[in-house]
Structure 1
């Protein structure tokens, strides 16, 4: 089962169910207006989200998901009423092959192994512990709060001080904390964890700066188990033509860490277990167009994998930023 959030023809928020065996038909869940509230209800009832969703009555909309996307009426599949209570974070060097591009960006003149390669090897050796055990901790980064999340088909605003805007096709884990602080996984989605790789390449200590950019995920939220082997495609369109295309692989069969280990090392911090908060966590990738080319304003990123339904698409544009941030004395 997959879920979407969208705006109907009357301007009202709705939650829709997409059944893979019925194509792009949108079944609007009656009296359901946010995935956030549905998740809270499932926690309160102590039942799986999928079980609760199957109890909802629904009606078939007159439009398809493709039509909703074309009209830009699909919003992010998970959000929070207060964007300040939504964390966007991620982990890197988690996929087999993910160290190659990073290592080339951070390579040194000597023959010494880079810190990126060391971190990657640590994951290979200790990132998949036995169930119930904690493995080696991954590279981790903070990306922003809910204000940086752009809906599918929206244009991604990139500040003028950015040196690059490049896609990162990734899995996104979507979570909500229960009243006692227990984190619950709502589901998974496709994501574009867009970054500034030229800034990162200047010095790997600039990684934190390079991640403070907008992102997108969706359009559909996969409810239930994640396949071990996910095969997808990442494309860049320029003026209606595909100018770059490569496959990408995700899922635990293609990762150096288990999902459980990455989740543990995020939610082990009490800060991230505040009741009611939502977390979007990007799990990393091994495929970047930055290794082959540079994108330009107006380029459209397209990330697809059949298990997640419709592709995630966003163009990007450059926006003016404050030349020098001025702080006033009180």
Structure 2
């Protein structure tokens, strides 16, 4: 089951169930937002799919019209954007077979590895502990980063805007875990979505300690929220179009079959911190990727469009690239 959040032509928020071969949205009548739906599921100790099945519906809408009219919303958000925490993990994916083969040739030479390569090696060795798929024994810690709050999350079809000072605005096709913290502090996974984690790779490449600066900017998630388990082997395509021309396109792999960590391990090392178990908060957590256009020498330009798609997530996530106007920030003393 895939859900979507939209605005109706009257400006009201609605949750839609993707149906009709992906062309029609059945609008729910009981819940106006996925946040409310997830809160109700936690309170009733029922699955989201069960609550959706019991909702008789409030008519339908055309998926194509929603896209054309710019009425898409992020599939899970919080009424107060400050209570939506956006984070991610890196060095979690195995990459292509060739990359793995090359990696295995040097994994034993720890003294020659960068810190990033050492962390990747540690993930291969300890990111999937026995029983870890069910949230059992914790494995090795992954790389982790903070990206922002709900104010930086952009819906599909809306511009991804890099800061005026950015050296680059590059895509990162990733799976995003979408969570809501229950009243007793228990994190609940609402579902999964495609995400474009969007970073400044040129800044990051200058020095890995600049990673935080490369991440503090917008991202995009959606348009659909997959309810239920994530396929073990997710295969998708990431592309960049300039005008009517595709200037770069590449397949990407995700899902636990293509990762060096169980998702449960990534979740454990995020939610083990008490500040991330504040009741009512939403968390959007990016799981990482091994496919980036920057590694092929591509430099996206304002007006280019990112497109990320994978069959399990329905329609592609599409965003044009923009650059913010120059801004001067002055700190004043009181």
Shorter-chain TM-score category? over 0.9
1:297 to 2:302 alignment: yes
Q: How does 1:73-84 map to 2 (within 5 A)?
A: 73-84=71-82
What is the alpha-carbon distance in structure 2 between the residues aligned to residue 235 and residue 55 of structure 1?
38
Contact 2:85–2:284 (CA under 8 A) maintained in structure 1 = yes
Q: How does 1:277-292 map to 2 (within 5 A)?
A: 277-292=281-296
Calculate the aligned-residue CA RMSD, in Å. 1.8
Q: How does 1:101-112 map to 2 (within 5 A)?
A: 112=112
1:246 to 2:250 alignment: yes
Contact 2:142–2:266 (CA under 8 A) maintained in structure 1 = yes
Q: How does 1:308-323 map to 2 (within 5 A)?
A: 308-323=313-328
Deviation at residue 328 of structure 1 after TM alignment: 1.1
Q: Name 1:4's counterpart in structure 2.
A: 4
Deviation at residue 31 of structure 1 after TM alignment: 2.7
Q: Name 1:29's counterpart in structure 2.
A: 28
Deviation at residue 58 of structure 1 after TM alignment: 1.2
* Structure 1: runs of 5 or more not aligned: 104-110
Runs (4+) of structure 1 exceeding 3 A deviation are 98-101
Q: How does 1:257-276 map to 2 (within 5 A)?
A: 257-276=261-280
Q: Name 1:327's counterpart in structure 2.
A: 331
What is the alpha-carbon distance in structure 1 between the residues aligned to residue 121 and residue 62 of structure 2?
45
Q: Name 1:107's counterpart in structure 2.
A: none
Please, which of 130, 138, 144 is the counterpart of residue 140 of structure 1?
A: 144
Deviation at residue 226 of structure 1 after TM alignment: 0.8
What is the alpha-carbon distance in structure 1 between the residues aligned to residue 66 and residue 169 of structure 2?
27
1:166 to 2:170 alignment: yes
What is the alpha-carbon distance in structure 2 between the residues aligned to residue 160 and residue 313 of structure 1?
22
Contact 1:25–1:60 (CA under 8 A) maintained in structure 2 = no
Contact 1:157–1:316 (CA under 8 A) maintained in structure 2 = yes
Deviation at residue 157 of structure 1 after TM alignment: 1.5
TM-score normalised to structure 1 length? 0.94
Q: Name 1:108's counterpart in structure 2.
A: none
Q: Name 1:41's counterpart in structure 2.
A: 40
Deviation at residue 59 of structure 1 after TM alignment: 4.1
Contact 2:78–2:84 (CA under 8 A) maintained in structure 1 = yes
Q: Name 1:222's counterpart in structure 2.
A: 226
Q: Name 1:106's counterpart in structure 2.
A: none
Q: How does 1:67-216 map to 2 (within 5 A)?
A: 67-97=65-95, 112-131=112-131, 132-216=136-220
* Structure 2: runs of 5 or more not aligned: 103-110
Deviation at residue 22 of structure 1 after TM alignment: 3.2
Deviation at residue 130 of structure 1 after TM alignment: 2.0
Structure 2 residue matching 1:327: 3-state secondary structure: coil
What is the alpha-carbon distance in structure 1 between the residues aligned to residue 36 and residue 58 of structure 2?
19
Structure 2 residue matching 1:69: 3-state secondary structure: helix
What is the alpha-carbon distance in structure 2 between the residues aligned to residue 220 and residue 114 of structure 1?
37
Q: Name 2:64's counterpart in structure 1.
A: 66
Q: Name 2:106's counterpart in structure 1.
A: none
What is the alpha-carbon distance in structure 2 between the residues aligned to residue 266 and residue 229 of structure 1?
23
Deviation at residue 217 of structure 1 after TM alignment: 0.6
What is the alpha-carbon distance in structure 1 between the residues aligned to residue 323 and residue 194 of structure 2?
24
Per-residue displacement from partner, 1:272-300 (whole Å, max 9, x unpaired)?
A: 00000000000000000011111111110
1:231 to 2:230 alignment: no
Deviation at residue 28 of structure 1 after TM alignment: 0.4
